[in-house]
Copies of this chain bind each other. A is one copy, B any other.
Amino acid sequence: MNTIMSTATLNINLAALADNWRDLDSRTGCETAAVVKADGYGLGAGVVARALAGAGARSFFVAVAEEGVILRKALGEGPAISVFSGHMAGDTEMIRDAGLTPMLNSVDQMLRHVEGLPGHPFGLQLDTGMNRLGMEAAEWDAVRELALGQNPRLVMSHLACADTPEHEMNARQLARFHEMTDGIDAPRSLAATGGILLGPEYHFDLTRPGVGLYGGLPFVDARPVVTLDVPVIQVRDVAPGETVGYANAWTADTPSRIATISAGYADGIIRAMGPNAALHAGSTGVPVVGRISMDLIGVDVTALGSDPETLQLIGAHQSVDTVAGFAGTIGYEILTSLGARYRRVYAQ
């Protein structure tokens, strides 16, 4: 049976995903949650979250309330679903109806929550120096008694430099988190994937791994979760002096065999990676030639003995982080940019 379609196939290994969660869970003595924001880092929040629930995760985090509503439908009642952006104007009905737990980031959000949904669960996010989300020390001082009296489900903060273990910012944020929270009764959380790897003093009562679950750095021991295979539409001979693609950006200097594959920047293959990117046919790397276009990419397959039916962008021979390097970015952006046109195939 010929299974080549005209769009690329994204294989998602749910067993590897679950193994990554168990591995990170085994490195701490506390609860391990799972971050499934941005549609489960591009892999499908519902499927990913159900697989992680099967592995034992009981708490999930999303970025915004709309994601929480979708996730609640996928998970049903039971698991906790927390929202990093907190309780924004317009979110009240979603938070109530989907049973979401907003991580309140400011006094404004605190007041909105206790007025709009008195008695509804919430958590608190504190800023320990990243200056992105969470209450500042002065705000926290002002509402601390009120907030702690309402039984928050979690008090959390986020590390700015956890991917760089030697960065002095890590210890500085840890010290500030202790100053702001020591002695409280509520469970505490500081660590995402990077924080788990920094060691037990960063673990507190709950960790919130994200990128490590999906096979990305800084979790170097992660099992790879995704492979991406792109079908070849056609292959042609190109003579020396001929050009390939938009703006004639690549010129053959020897007789070349050029494949046109069915994916492009509209599928999240970032246009900027063109000059550095390669794909693989088996273990043989083959370079992208010319500009990446919206739906198509040229690849020099001269080195192969025969014309390939597909070429692999992500897999055993180059990781999500390797591909990120082609564009000077991070694996996270490759994952969250994975295209809607890909055929997603989930392996248990």
A306 close to B (CB within 8 Å):
no
B131 touches A243 (CB 8 A): yes
Work out how many copies of this chain go into the complex.
Answer: 2
Binds B, one of A24-32, A144-152, A312-320, A328-336: A328-336
A246 neighbours in B (Cβ, 8 Å): 130, 160-161
Stretch at the interface among A59-67, A174-182, A200-208, A220-228: A59-67
Instruction: Report A210-239 CB contacts with B as 1/0, cut-off 8 Å.
Output: 000000000000000000000101101110
Given contacts A132-B293, A294-B336, contact A4 B90 (CB under 8 A): yes
Answer yes or no: A127 CB below 8 A from chain B CBs. Answer: yes
**Contacts of A255-302 to chain B: CB distance below 8 A:** 258, 260, 262, 265-266, 268, 270-272, 290, 293-296, 298
A37 B295 Cβ-Cβ under 8 A:
yes
* Residue count of chain A within 8 Å CB distance of chain B: 78
Which of the candidate stretches A14-22, A50-58, A73-81, A105-113 sits at the interface with the other chain?
A: A105-113
Residues from chain B with a CB closer than 8 A to the CB of A169 are 243, 248
A residues lining the B interface (CB < 8 Å):
2-7, 37-39, 42, 63-67, 83-86, 88-91, 105-106, 108-109, 127, 129-133, 136, 160-161, 163-164, 167, 169, 231, 233-234, 236-238, 242-248, 258, 260, 262, 265-266, 268, 270-272, 290, 293-296, 298, 327-330, 332-333, 336-337, 340-341
